[in-house]
Structure 1
Amino acid sequence: MTIAGPDPSGGEWRRTFDGEREGIRLSLAWIEEIAQGLDLAEDQFYALRLCAEELITNSVLHNAGRARNGDRLHLRLTLAAQADRVALTVEDNGAYFDIVSAPAKTADQPLDQLQPGGLGVGLVKRFASRLDYAQTEFGNKVVAAFYRPP
């Protein structure tokens, strides 16, 4: 079953997921199913999928499934497609983390000297056409936009 808006270039979808490992799998499958129904170039689809995986996985793993107040972590996802762009909004109620201001770790040293992890921030910054962050009453709100070629 393919989920699609009224037009292959537009629509908006929202869903909330539990911030657990199973929520990662379910949310990525949900995003991919919608994205397959959109008129995305292969590189846009790849960039969207990569950024979604980084943002969602990092939220769940770095918060260990817990919100700032100790309750369960929740993810609110919105995927919005317009003629000129696709935007993924990832909101969580975890510890505040401003990905826009966070330094991007680079892999500019020999492989045997690299420490695992930490490259996701740089990947998201590289593959999203635009990246915005805000602290909200709910928690973190990250919007990654991917512009469509004219």
Structure 2
Amino acid sequence: MSLHDGLRLAEMTETRGDVYSADCPCRDLLDVVANKWSALAIGALEDGPVRFGALQRRLEGVSPKVLTATLRRLEGFGLVHREVIPAVPLHVEYTLTDAGRSAIRPVFALREWAECNYQLAKAQAGTDAATAPDDRAAGR
């Protein structure tokens, strides 16, 4: 490695995180964005503001408690903006921030990959179902 390459590498590590480093805060960002409910929420917010109830209906299977925690975490990282609309009754809308919009493409790619490879999950579900009774019988 030349001195020039070494300087460029040093510049890169100062402006970018390293997810393989145990103490890098970008690991927390990766964790929040790669979370199932976060990835789905980002996709559901892609087209503009969405009220909480509509978001919950779109994300089938998410509980209000989990959705609230997910949205708070996304908001905490600056990916989602929460706006209270002073109406009767009062309601809340969620939108993606610029940082949240920048996550759309990679999150979409991950969702697309999962949909195209659903056979992997289907096979795992079959494996789990086939082994579950044996595990219970064995006392595991």
TM-score range, shorter chain: under 0.3
User: Which structure has the larger Rg over C-alpha atoms?
Assistant: 2
User: Looking at both structures, which has the greater relative contact order when contacts are Cα pairs under 8 Å and sequence separation is at least 6?
Assistant: 1
Structure that is richer in strand per residue? 1
TM-score normalised to structure 1 length: 0.22
TM-score normalised to structure 2 length: 0.23
